[in-house]
Amino acid sequence: MYRLALNMLFGDRAKLAMLLCGLAFSALLMAQQSSVFFGIMSWTYTPMVNIRAQVWVSDPMVEQVNDAKPLRDTDLGRVRSVDGVAWAAPLHTSFVQARMEDGNFKLITLVGIDADTFAGAPAVLTQGRIEDLRLPDTVIVDEWGAALMGRMTVGPDGKPRSIPLQVGDTFEINDIQARIVGICKVKRAFTGGPFVYTTYDRAKGYTLGARRTLSFMLVEPQKGVTPAELCDRIERDTGLKAWTADTVIWSWGERSLARNTFWWFWTNTGIPFSFGTAVLLGLFVGIAISGQTFYSFVLENLKYFAAIKAMGAGMGVIARMLFVQAFTAGLIGFGLGAGMAQGIGRVMIEKGMPPFVMYPQILWATFALVLGISFVSALIGIIKVSRVDAASVFRG
Amino acid sequence: MSHLAHTVALRASGVDMFFGTQENQVVALRQADFEARRGELIMLVGPSGCGKTTLLSVIAGTLTPQAGSVEVFGQRLDGLGQEELTAFRRKHLGFVFQSFNLIPTLTVMENVMVTLLIQGRPYDEAHARTLAIIDKVGLKGREESRPNALSGGQQQRVAIARALVHEPPLLICDEPTSALDKDTGGHIMQLVRDLSRSPERCVVVVTHDHRIFRFADRIAEMEDGRISRVVDDPKLLDTTHL
């Protein structure tokens, strides 16, 4: 019977196309918007990705990685003395204005790393060497920042164009020269400012007047000590807050700074609401279009279902037929929608904007919601068919 | 048990059927008695609104009468629940509808197979039996055609094949020739009669079409919700009011 049910569905190509359009559009909207949402949210903990360390130590009041509450430099010594610490390095992060050669200002994320160990340095340099940061007034700028902060000039066609900053170019931070000795590749941040790396001591100089400049401490556990264990010891011995660098936001690790940052933005900003609205819209559009199309498919076939009922098919058989039809359409619609979302995502990833992260969980959730839409559609049809009197087939 | 008891295929006794509430009640059947014999093709005739279709629905178990009893091939229908009635129809009844009711998105083969698949028969068995009946109704070679590619007569042949593929004892035909011309209607009725000529089968045909009366073994005339008379010879009927 199921084969015939599918043939009934595929036989009406116009209705099937409409049904698949509704389901695919719904799946696309839900998967694509969710992926952009998680992409944007993944930007919120970008420093955790760009500045690599197993354990981060902060002021106890810190809630998320973008909200550094400066520590005393002496806290570094206290952390280094905790049993299980292999090494601990200072880290400065702050948002400051950079003044470009043409007089323009740009907001940057200044990152000061330990000059001895380069702990927290960017992993990939496309130009220059990390060691050159030890030279006076030097910085390393990320690729996107180099393009954003580029020098404006006039092209051969007479139109203004920006030339990305290169090694050797300079700009100023608080009237102090910053000379570029390297270009690095890092992940972009939610706050929008390019990452500008320098040494911790020089960062102190760039942030004139700041009494405390130690934002975080990057800590490496000794062999045999897990990051979570070390966090416990640091908190117990120093009263500071210690975090693991785990960036899997789905995990339940209370100690993950990335996860806490993610949920801080979730609860303290309107981002989930706006994207949630779009996802809900996708769901409602799916239910409306697919439900209505499937209902009209059932209405068109109502007299045939009545005939089948008269011929002795129970409602169980007919309900299973309708479920098979609805779920098959849902499966194909999901495939089309998710495929389109992947395609759009690929383009977005190539362009870098907007951020796009399609977790497997997003696909599973979208799949479940599309099946939910199919279930509702089938249910509406089943209710309609169950109310049809089998005797109606004798009334012409 | 008498010889007559063996020959009775279906019997409806004292059947009352009315629709609507007390103030707007419409009486469709009033103490209707009807009997059909095994191996017989009996026609139910009468003017519109006399209760033919209602009686057919009661016999088919798609309507439950308010009073009276219905017995089909020894099975009492009164007292059966909906599920039992559905199972009864599935096993014992074949239907030929006025507007064919063939599913337009399915092929001839699939439309006929529906009956067997509803019964839970395996696909291969259903396929083989369907091929045989399609051959019998003269549609060999059209198995993969869609209903809209067939003439009215061919569509009704498909409907007959669908009604008989599971070899039901009782075949119910509701105005089987109303959408067909005289010749095609005659061919269809000949086919119904040929295929149903068996001591284990009974055919009940509801019709207005006096051109096909000659195919009946007996004709039961209805008036005001009851059988007014039963004749063996169509010439005895006054067809002016039908």
Closest CA to B66 of B58, B222, A341, A89: B58
Spatial separation of the C-alpha atoms in residues A338 and A348, rounded to whole Å = 15
* A178 and A92 in a common domain: yes
Angle value at C-alpha A90, between A233 and A257, nearest 5 degrees = 55
Indicate whether A320 and A365 sit together in one domain: yes
pLDDT at site B190:
84
The answer to whether residue B3 scores a pLDDT higher than 50 is no
Of B83, B97, B107, the CB nearest to A393: B97
In chain A, which residue's Cα lies nearest the Cα of B205? A394
Whether residue A210 sits in one domain with residue A110: yes
State which of A246, A261, A288 marks the end of a domain.
A246
Using the predicted structure, report yes or no on whether residue B196 has a pLDDT greater than 80: no
Name which of B54, B62, B80 to mutate to probe chain A: the one with the most chain A Cβ atoms within 10 A of its Cβ: B62
pLDDT for A326-374, tens place per residue? 899 999 999 999 999 999 888 887 876 778 888 898 899 989 988 888 8
Tell me which DSSP letter residue A182 carries: E
Q: Are B62 and A314 within 8 A, CB to CB?
A: no
Could you tell me the two tokens for A39?
A: 């992409």
Q: Kindly report the nearest CA distance between residue B199 and chain A, in angstroms.
A: 23
Burial label for B231, CB within 10 Å (0-12, 13-18, 19+), is middle
Residue-level pLDDT at B1: 39
- Looking at the fold, whether A116 and A12 belong to one and the same domain comes out as no
pLDDT the model gives residue A233 = 94
Q: What's the gap in Å between the CA of A382 and the closest CA on chain B?
A: 17
**3 state SS of A18:** helix
CA distance B63 to chain A (A): 6
Instruction: Kindly determine whether residue A8 and residue B103, on different chains, have CB atoms separated by under 8 Å.
Output: yes
Structural domain includes residue A292: yes
- How do residues A127-167 score in pLDDT, each as one tens digit? 999 999 999 999 999 998 888 888 878 878 888 888 888 89
Q: Is residue A195 part of a domain?
A: yes
- For residue B162, the enclosing domain spans 3-241
Question: What share of chain B has pLDDT > 90, as a percent?
Answer: 8
Give the pLDDT band (50/70/90) at residue B240. low
Domain membership flag for residue A71: yes
**Residue A302 scores a pLDDT above 50:** yes
Predicted confidence band at B183 (pLDDT cuts at 50, 70, 90)? Answer: confident
Give the residue-averaged pLDDT of B81-100: 85
Give the closest of B89, B106, B119 to A7, CB-based: B106
* Beta-carbon separation of A311 and B119 below 8 A: no
Contact in structure between B162 and B139 (CB atoms under 8 Å): no
A302 token code pair: 């109502």
Residue in A304, A309, A394 nearest the CB of B56: A394
- Other residues' Cβ atoms within 10 Å of the Cβ of residue A81: 11
Residue A261 belongs to some domain of the structure: no
Look at residue A395 in the predicted model and tell me its pLDDT: 62
Instruction: Give me the domain span that covers residue A382.
Output: 2-42+271-395
Number of domains forming the structure of chain A: 2
Which of A246, A280, A306 corresponds to the end of one domain? A246
pLDDT at B5: 45
On whether both A382 and A284 belong to a single domain, the answer is: yes
Which of A1, A314, A396 comes nearest B98 by C-beta?
A396
What is chain B written as a DSSP string? Answer: --HHHHHEEEEEEEEEEEES-STT-EEEEEEEEEEEETT-EEEEE-STTSSHHHHHHHHHTSS--SEEEEEETTEE-TT--HHHHHHHHHHHEEEE-TT----TTS-HHHHHHHHHHHTT--HHHHHHHHHHHHHHTT-TT-TT--GGGS-HHHHHHHHHHHHHTT--SEEEEESTTTTS-HHHHHHHHHHHHHHH-STT-EEEEE---GGGGGG-SEEEEEETTEEEEEESSGGGS-GGG-
Q: Is A272 helix (H, G, I), strand (E, B) or coil?
A: helix
d(CA A219, CA A88): 4
B187: CATH: 3.40.50.300
Q: Do A295 and A241 share a domain, yes or no?
A: no
Task: Answer yes or no: is the ipTM higher than 0.85.
Answer: no
Q: What percent of chain A has pLDDT over 90?
A: 30
CA–CA separation, A179 vs A98, rounded Å?
12
Tell me: do A52 and A176 sit in the same domain.
yes
Q: Are A150 and A96 within one domain? A: yes
User: 3-state class of A167 per DSSP?
Assistant: coil
Contact A391 B106 (CB under 8 A): no
Size of the A and B interface in Cβ pairs below 8 Å: 84
A90 vs B231, higher pLDDT: A90
